[in-house]
Amino acid sequence: MLQRIALGIGAPWPIAAFAQTASTGPAVATRPIPSTGEALPVIGLGTWITFNVGNDRAARDGCADVMKAFFEAGGRTIDSSPMYGSSQPVVGHGLARLGPAAKMLFAADKVWTSSAARGPSQIEESRRHWNVPRFDLLQVHNLLGWEDQLPLLLSMKQAGRLRYVGITTSEGRRHREIEDVMRRHPLDFVQVTYNLLDREVEQRILPLARERAIAVIANRPFREGALLRGLQSHRLPAWAAEIDCVNWAQVALKFIVSHPALTCAIPATSSVAHVRENMAAATGRMPDAALRQRMAAHVEAL
């Protein structure tokens, strides 16, 4: 029933290969980006709400501490957006404080404007906020103006100013359109909402991502915390120990990242303890298909 986290060791899905993602960090499960084979840790770091702390210096330093713990635990992918208020400059503050400790960063951001003319300047503003030479991944946020922004991102990739191109949606919106874009355009990534309760993408988008060799990022893995708040009063089932989970957050994350089409999940947190717990979900045993079904059924029944 259990799935080994080791490349090719009897794993029915290409779940992960051990990878040393930070010089001092533990081995964490990774998944290859289908278009290049580059390995990404299966747990990333989101910044929606949690990193929007404005000019609060103490809170900014707290976010930098979260990033430090994330990289120390072997994390790489940090995801933000110009829609997230001060999150981008807060990420930039953290990167500046961490210096070489953040060298494994996989910088994922978005373009979020309906104006074709605004796209390039917005991307440049975002890059300056992060203070990175270039983004690894840029995604068209919630498909806003994708007819104009997607060609822009593809041209940036062609020119070597961007490594990967993607699109995003959340909470099940515009799935038909997402599918259409996935079929007709050379995407590297698609970002969708996927968690123990929101599983609509299992029907069409995740199979299509596998078919089209598109990496998948799962957003809102905890339904912005509501899922965990609902689960915290319930005892952890016995099967949680079989997949090395000690809390509901790890159960929720292992459910997501063990889907064969998933590349990584991006839980957001402002707590160092929580980011460590989240990153621990990228280690140890993973559920197989049968256990995943039990997990979903169990949580649905609660």
272 lies in the binding site for another protein (CB under 8 A):
no
Residue 208: what residue type? Answer: L
d(CA 205, CA 150): 19
Residue number, 118 or 174, with CB nearest to another protein? 174
219 lies in the binding site for another protein (CB under 8 A):
no
Residue number, 74 or 82, with CB nearest to another protein? 82
Among 151, 172, 260, 284, indicate the residue that binds another protein (CB under 8 A): 172
Among 86, 191, 219, 247, indicate the residue that binds another protein (CB under 8 A): 86
d(CA 114, CA 108): 20
173 lies in the binding site for another protein (CB under 8 A):
yes
17 lies in the binding site for another protein (CB under 8 A):
no
Residue 286 CB partners (closer than 8 Å, separation 6+): 2, 3, 4, 5, 15, 16, 29, 243, 254, 257, 258
Among 70, 71, 84, 106, indicate the residue that binds another protein (CB under 8 A): 84
Touching another protein, residues 64-83 (CB under 8 A): 83
55 lies in the binding site for another protein (CB under 8 A):
yes
Nearest-approach distance from CB 198 to another protein, in angstroms: 12
d(CA 260, CA 16): 10
Site string for another protein, 127-166 (x = CB under 8 A): ----------------------------------------
Strand duo 189-193 + 45-46: pairing: unpaired
50 lies in the binding site for another protein (CB under 8 A):
yes
Residue number, 3 or 113, with CB nearest to another protein? 113
Q: Tokens in use for 73?
A: 């635990």
d(CA 193, CA 260): 16
Nearest-approach distance from CB 9 to another protein, in angstroms: 41
Residue number, 34 or 119, with CB nearest to another protein? 119
Among 6, 270, 272, 284, indicate the residue that binds another protein (CB under 8 A): 270
233 lies in the binding site for another protein (CB under 8 A):
no
Handedness of CA 81, 84, 90, 94 (dihedral sign): negative
Among 118, 174, 185, 298, indicate the residue that binds another protein (CB under 8 A): 174
Nearest-approach distance from CB 202 to another protein, in angstroms: 19
Contact between 135 and 156 under an 8 Å Cβ cutoff? The reply is no
Give strand pairing partners of 193: 219
Residues touching another protein: how many (CB under 8 A)?
Answer: 18
Residue number, 85 or 120, with CB nearest to another protein? 85
Residue number, 171 or 300, with CB nearest to another protein? 171
The continuous run of DSSP H or E covering 216 comes out as strand 215-219
d(CA 122, CA 54): 19
Give strand pairing partners of 264: 217
Contacts 24+ apart (CB under 8 A), 179-183: 179/204, 179/205, 179/208, 181/143, 181/146, 181/150, 182/208, 182/209, 182/212, 182/214, 183/208, 183/212
Residues at the site binding another protein, with contacts judged by CB under 8 A: 49-50, 52-56, 59, 83-86, 171-174, 224, 270
